[in-house]
Amino acid sequence: MKTWVWVVIVAVILAVSLTVGVVLLTRQPQGNVAYVYVDGELVYQVDLSKVDQPYLYTVNTPYGTNVLEIAKDSIRIADADCPHKECVEQGRLKGSPLVCLPHRLVVKIAEDDADSVSR
Amino acid sequence: MKRALTKRIVIDGVLTAMALAIWVVEAQIPLPLPVPGIKLGLANVVTLFAMFALGPLDAGVILLVRIGLGSVFGGGLTAFLFSLAGGALCYLLCLLLRLVVKDKQIWVLGALGAIAHNAAQIGVAIALTRTTGLVVYLPVLVAAGVITGTLTGLAAQASYLALKRTTLLSRLKGGASLPKEPDDVAGEEDETEKKNQK
C-alpha cells in the first residue's frame, strides 16, 4: 500500500476516536446516584443531590483503600494508597466512571433505579 | 553454529535490557491526564526495531522477557496482566502488518499496534472490575494510542533505516558472516554502546 493510504487510515481513526472520546468523557452524567463497586460488587451508594455537607468516605478493598470526597452533586477520589494515584488524577466524576484498577474499584453515576434495571 | 546462537542471545539480551530500562523509567513518570492508562509506550520502540532488524522471534522473546522482568521490577501482578494482554495483541497485529508494510511505513505498526495494545488493556480492565461501562474509555485510548504509537513507530523506523545503511544490521542478524577481525568486533561494541546512550 502507498504511504498516503496509511496516513489517511491512521488520520481517520484518530479523528473519529478523538471526537467520540471527547464527547463521551465530557458529557454530564445522567442521574444523581453514585454507585461504588469493588470487584463488580456494589459496596456503597449515595444520592448526590441530597448531600448537604461534604464528607469523606473511605472504601477498604481487599487490595487497598480509597478515600472518596462526596459533596452535593460531586464525587471524586481524594486519596488512595496506590503508587500512581491515577484515580485521584481523574478528578470529579463526569461522563466516564472513576476507576482504580489496582484496587478493582469503580465509581459511577446512574439513575436511582439503574442498579435494579441492570440486574 | 554455537557461536551464532551465543551472539543472538547476547544481542537479544542487550535489547531486552534497553527495553526494560526504558519501561522502568517511563513507569516513574505518571502523566497528569484525567484518563487512566495513557502512556508513551517507549519500550515498544525496541520491540519494533527488533522485529525488523532481527526478526519476529527475537522481537517476541525481547517483549516477553521485558514484560516478565518489568512486573518483577515494580509492576506487580495487575501491571503484568495488562502488559501481557496489551503486548501480546500488539505483537500479533504487528506480525500480520509487517507482511504488508514497506520499510518507510514501520510507523504504521507503531500506530495500529498501540491501538491493539490499548484495546486489549481495556478488555482486561473490564474483566478485572467486571464493569462493561469502562468501554467509554476506549475511543480516547485509541486516539492516544495513534499519537504515541506513531511517534514510537517513527523512532523505531528511523533507527532501523539508519542502521540499515551500515553493515551492522546484516552482522546483527546473520550468524553466518561472523566478523573474524578484532577491528570488527570493536566496532560492533561501539555501536551497541551508542544505542544504549540514546
Question: Residue type at B79?
Answer: A
Q: Please report, as a single letter, which amino acid is at residue A62.
A: P
First to last CA, chain A: 48
Amino acid at A71: A
Query: Closest-CA residue in chain A for B115?
Result: A13
The answer to whether the Cβ–Cβ distance between B128 and A90 falls below 8 Å is no
pLDDT value of residue B185: 47
Domain of B23, CATH number, reads 1.10.1760.20
Q: Which residues of B touch A108 (CB under 8 A)?
A: 131, 133
For residues B114 and B45, the answer to whether their CB atoms sit within 8 Å is: no
* Residue A26 contacts B, CB cutoff 8 Å: no
* Interchain contact A12–B (C-beta under 8 A): no
Q: What does the DSSP assignment read for chain B? A: -HHHHHHHHHHHHHHHHHHHHHHHHHHTS----SSTT----THHHHHHHHHHHT-HHHHHHHHHHHHHHHIIIIIHHHHHHHHHHHHHHHHHHHHHHTTT--GGGHHHHHHHHHHHHHHHHHHHHHHHHT-GGGGGGHHHHHHHHHHHHHHHHHHHHHHHHHHHTSSHHHHHH-SSS---SHHHHHHHHHHHHHHHH-
Asked whether A38 and A66 are in contact (CB, 8 A), the reply is: no
Residue A40 belongs to what domain range? 31-118
For residue A118, the model assigns a pLDDT of: 44
Read off the pTM: 0.81
- Report whether B137 contacts B35 (CB < 8 A): yes
Domain that holds residue B142: 2-174
Q: In chain A, what residues touch B152 (CB-CB under 8 Å)?
A: none
Give percent above pLDDT 90 in chain B.
58
CB contact under 8 Å between B101 and A90, yes or no, is no
* Domain match, A77 and A60 both: yes
pLDDT in tens, A34-72: 999 998 889 999 999 889 899 999 999 998 999 999 998
The string of pLDDT tens digits covering residues B14-33 is 999 999 999 989 888 877 77
**Cβ <8 Å between B100 and A39:** no
Same domain membership, residue A98 and residue A114: yes
**Closest Cα partner for A69 from A84, A60, A59?**
A59
- Check whether residue A57 and residue A97 sit in a common domain: yes
Residue B65 cell numbers, joined: 522477557
Distance CA(B174)–CA(A66), nearest Å, equals 54
Distance CA(B188)–CA(B171), nearest Å, equals 9
Residue B58 binned pLDDT confidence (cut-offs 50, 70, 90): very high
Which of A76-80, B94-98, B168-172, B175-179 is predicted least confidently?
B175-179
Same domain for A108 and A52, yes or no, is: yes
Per-residue model confidence (pLDDT) at position A116 = 46
